[in-house]
Structure 1
């Protein structure tokens, strides 16, 4: 089964095709690469970045209950890097305001109309009905449409193509475990480039902040095309992490792309584990509980993460280094 799922060019850390040497950098590239560190290729371990998309079991269960048809950005096949959409923020604000109007303002409006009619004593039933009809037509109906459509959209039931194009998060990149390809996208959703995973170098770049602190960013740079556009892996973790955490993230990315290794053992990927052949074989061999993370309480989950961090602080962030440029014997 694994041979049909994983394509020929899927990444295998124990069968890396010898890569061509890195081309010489131009002067401009050398100047731009100042302050950068190249992270080594390695035989990945099960070390994970606990800072990656931190979601608790209760949050995960709520998301699945709210939007059962919603695909996770990370699964057994692809890892998608996404960025926010300004129109989605506007839409979220409008839906929130509509919800407030329906739940809170409308009851107060109804009570105030009746009190006014009761105290004034000269307001007729027709005037009250006209007021209610006006309010229903010009306030309740638009708010119900906005809030109702938002709830349906959020649950994955009604996603008109035009609205989806306007509101969905923009895809920055895609790492495909089954094909071994890395794809970077332009702003309009068009492919900027797509190359095999092993043809990239992982770069940890440092830039000073306005406060004089050092900010880090992790990216994949294609080794041979000369493209100045990198794959921004740093969007997967919370900002201002330690250098060691970026090493762990790189190890986890290599583990994810390596089809000889099981999927990284994190909450986000637990639901995908039964769909990946290598992971299925590993879990059967180790007797792993298929709902280990998802059935935890939030307190137990936090304690487990703390224990993982303590354990990982005493071991190497990555596995044994491998020479991807070694010539075939």
Structure 2
């Protein structure tokens, strides 16, 4: 097992002595006052609930029967027992994704609300002179669009993916960042500015040990109120890792706290992989996880064979666990290794 993991692999019980931080290069002025450095260690078995809910058992079973599209089309994105790599797809894929999400919101929120409005305005609830048949016939194109437009968008997105997968499933400019459990390193791709009509220069790839980064919960204010993002900043250089890209901004900092716990648990080779449904198929490939699962008798298909009701309860329980997370009250394991500049 020791030979599988590299020397920089993260072990919270044996973090090397760290140099004191002489200057905070990534958080200064207003940025520092609107940010909270999160403590290392004493994690809970939590994660942002959306990480679970986006891969329900039915989807996992369906994906088992299909070809791995990432491998088929050479996509840079990776999520397995060795690494998490964030690599956005090309613009056209993101546009289709926006269409699909818009359609879902329309179909499941706007259309039902509009249908209720039409029913309340019908002869069943009003004293208009027309009968119900005449009322139905009076409905026109606008009503049809309001009721069915969302489903049309969803269908368009699905057809586009089915008919033009090679055109849609393309890499964007390349990977943005990567967490590697096996090596214990964080890798960041820094892309130079793209000028019109000129080819883009190759990115600069920076690789640093995971334990040299600190997590910051950063607050910002927009027209919707206060939003929180998670950013990992290198302690000794000017380097930010915008890990919040895959989580998105949230109105509650607890989602950032849960995400930080998840990252630490994923990188910690003294404990098994987090109980993330999408990682289940890789658990037997990670030595620590395989040993844990064998000792505890964990079913190999724990998530994939779970029924929908139980899965929903698991997601609800995770929401509860995240809402009562104690991150801000924990001692900081890393503070025992060094002195921070601020």
Task: Find the counterpart in structure 1 of residue 333 from structure 2.
Answer: 322
Aligned residues of 1:44 and 1:254 also touching (Cα < 8 A): yes
Distance 2:159 2:18 in 1: 54
Aligned residues of 1:273 and 1:280 also touching (Cα < 8 A): yes
Relative to 1, partners in 2 of residues 1:275 and 1:205: Cα closer, same or farther, differing over 3 Å? same
Task: Find the counterpart in structure 1 of residue 179 from structure 2.
Answer: 175
Aligned residues of 2:87 and 2:177 also touching (Cα < 8 A): yes
Task: Find the counterpart in structure 1 of residue 68 from structure 2.
Answer: 68
Relative to 1, partners in 2 of residues 1:84 and 1:304: Cα closer, same or farther, differing over 3 Å? same
Alpha-carbon offset, residue 226 of structure 1: 2.5
User: SS state of the match for residue 220, structure 1?
Assistant: strand
Aligned residues of 1:47 and 1:251 also touching (Cα < 8 A): yes
Distance 2:60 2:251 in 1: 23
Task: Find the counterpart in structure 1 of residue 260 from structure 2.
Answer: 250
Match of 1:81 among 82, 86, 89: 86
List runs of 5+ in structure 1 lacking aligned partners: 94-146
**Corresponding position: 1:218 with 2:230:** yes
Distance 1:246 1:204 in 2: 6
Distance 1:181 1:52 in 2: 22
Query: Structure 2 length as normaliser, TM-score?
Result: 0.67
Task: Find the counterpart in structure 2 of residue 140 from structure 1.
Answer: none
Task: Find the counterpart in structure 2 of residue 102 from structure 1.
Answer: none
User: SS state of the match for residue 216, structure 2?
Assistant: strand
Q: Across the two proteins, how many residue pairs are aligned to each other?
A: 262
Match of 1:283 among 281, 293, 296: 293
Query: Structure 1 length as normaliser, TM-score?
Result: 0.69
Task: Find the counterpart in structure 1 of residue 17 from structure 2.
Answer: 18
Task: Find the counterpart in structure 2 of residue 55 from structure 1.
Answer: 55
Task: Find the counterpart in structure 1 of residue 40 from structure 2.
Answer: 41
Relative to 1, partners in 2 of residues 1:316 and 1:288: Cα closer, same or farther, differing over 3 Å? farther
Spell out, residue by residue over 1:272-305, the C-alpha distance to the aligned partner (whole angstroms, 9 max, x if none): 1111000111111211111111112333311221
Alpha-carbon offset, residue 78 of structure 1: 0.4
Structure 1 vs Structure 2 CA RMSD? 3.2
Q: Is the deviation greater in 273-282 or in 24-33?
A: 24-33
Relative to 1, partners in 2 of residues 1:27 and 1:313: Cα closer, same or farther, differing over 3 Å? closer
Spell out, residue by residue over 1:28-82, the C-alpha distance to the aligned partner (whole angstroms, 9 max, x if none): 8334423011001114332232222622122233334333363573110001123
Aligned residues of 1:17 and 1:324 also touching (Cα < 8 A): no
Alpha-carbon offset, residue 240 of structure 1: 1.8
Distance 2:95 2:204 in 1: 27
**Corresponding position: 1:207 with 2:220:** yes
Alpha-carbon offset, residue 215 of structure 1: 1.2
Alpha-carbon offset, residue 6 of structure 1: 0.3
Match of 1:193 among 206, 213, 225: 206
Aligned residues of 1:175 and 1:182 also touching (Cα < 8 A): yes
Distance 1:313 1:28 in 2: 27
Distance 1:324 1:27 in 2: 18
